[in-house]
């Protein structure tokens, strides 16, 4: 057995035996099928041994245990230990995969939260800059007139157009609530500045 283990280890290092992660999907399915068959055979063998032992125990008169009984009992005990170790190893591997998946999910969530935090900070900064503007409409008009005739004409046309559109929208308001809502949309600190 020691020789077999050393040979298997050497074959793995030389690449003669592939790990499951290195196989193709088809090879993985074939390997898993072999494992299932081997596991089924092993369990059947254990079951046969247990049934044989139960039969012997049932049909043997009480007395001192024979050497074969002791050997069989020892073999069963060793098999149970191996099964327990294998199940424990499988549980640990499953827990490791679950922890890795949760860690990846947490890292992704942190990155997403950081992205939205920075975006919120930028919006707050822009909003603060806009709120901090001390220019009144009169000052803005004065600056526009200094900029030249084309700029004045363009901005005056925009202003007249906005006024006409607001009047048109006011005519369409049928109720007091509609008129109040329109007034809320067009009123503010900037319009009240002198």
pLDDT value of position 175? 86
Instruction: Report the half-sphere exposure of 10 (CA within 13 A, side-chain side).
Output: 6
DSSP state of 20: G
The verdict on residue 150 lying in a domain is yes
Q: Tell me how far apart the alpha carbons of residues 54 and 103 are, in angstroms, rounded to a whole number.
A: 49
C-alpha dihedral sign at 63, 69, 71, 72: negative
The verdict on residue 180 lying in a domain is yes
DSSP state of 187: -
pLDDT value of position 13? 77
The verdict on residue 19 lying in a domain is no
Q: What's the number of domains the chain is made of?
A: 1
Q: Tell me how far apart the alpha carbons of residues 96 and 90 are, in angstroms, rounded to a whole number.
A: 10
Q: Tell me how far apart the alpha carbons of residues 34 and 38 are, in angstroms, rounded to a whole number.
A: 6
For 135: left if phi > 0, alpha if psi spans -120 to 50, otherwise beta; the answer is beta
pLDDT, tens digit, 9 for 90 and up, residues 78-108: 888 888 888 888 888 888 888 888 888 888 8
Could you tell me how far CA 87 lies from the centroid of its own chain? Answer: 28
Q: Tell me how far apart the alpha carbons of residues 182 and 176 are, in angstroms, rounded to a whole number.
A: 10
Q: Tell me how far apart the alpha carbons of residues 133 and 92 are, in angstroms, rounded to a whole number.
A: 62
Query: Is the predicted pLDDT of residue 36 greater than 90, yes or no?
Result: yes
The verdict on residue 102 lying in a domain is no
pLDDT value of position 152? 64
pLDDT value of position 37? 93
Give me the domain span that covers residue 175: 137-192
pLDDT, tens digit, 9 for 90 and up, residues 114-170: 877 787 677 667 655 555 445 555 565 566 566 556 666 677 667 767 877 787 888
pLDDT value of position 118? 80
Direct distance between the N- and C-terminal alpha carbons of the chain, in angstroms, rounded to an integer: 97
pLDDT, tens digit, 9 for 90 and up, residues 39-79: 999 999 999 989 888 888 787 766 555 556 666 777 788 88
pLDDT value of position 33? 93
The verdict on residue 93 lying in a domain is no
The verdict on residue 23 lying in a domain is no
Q: CB under 8 Å to 20, separation ≥6 — which residues?
A: 28, 31
The verdict on residue 6 lying in a domain is no
The verdict on residue 144 lying in a domain is yes
């Amino acid at each position: 057995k020691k020789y077999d283990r050393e040979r298997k280890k050497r074959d793995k290092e030389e690449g003669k035996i592939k790990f499951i992660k290195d196989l193709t999907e088809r090879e993985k399915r074939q390997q898993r099928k072999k494992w299932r068959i081997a596991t089924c055979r092993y369990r059947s063998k254990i079951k046969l041994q247990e049934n044989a032992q139960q039969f012997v125990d049932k049909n043997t008169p009480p007395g001192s245990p024979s050497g074969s009984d002791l050997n069989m009992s020892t073999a069963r005990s060793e098999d149970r230990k191996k099964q327990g170790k294998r199940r424990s190893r499988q549980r640990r591997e499953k827990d490791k995969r679950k922890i890795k998946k949760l860690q990846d999910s947490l890292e992704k969530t942190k990155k997403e939260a950081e992205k939205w935090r920075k975006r919120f900070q930028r919006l707050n900064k822009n909003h603060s800059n806009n709120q901090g503007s001390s220019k009144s409409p009169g000052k803005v008009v004065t600056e526009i007139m200094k900029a030249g005739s084309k700029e004045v004409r363009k901005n005056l046309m925009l202003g007249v157009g906005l006024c006409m559109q607001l009047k048109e929208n006011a005519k369409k308001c049928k109720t007091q609530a509609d008129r109040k809502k329109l007034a809320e949309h067009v009123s503010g600190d900037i319009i009240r500045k002198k």
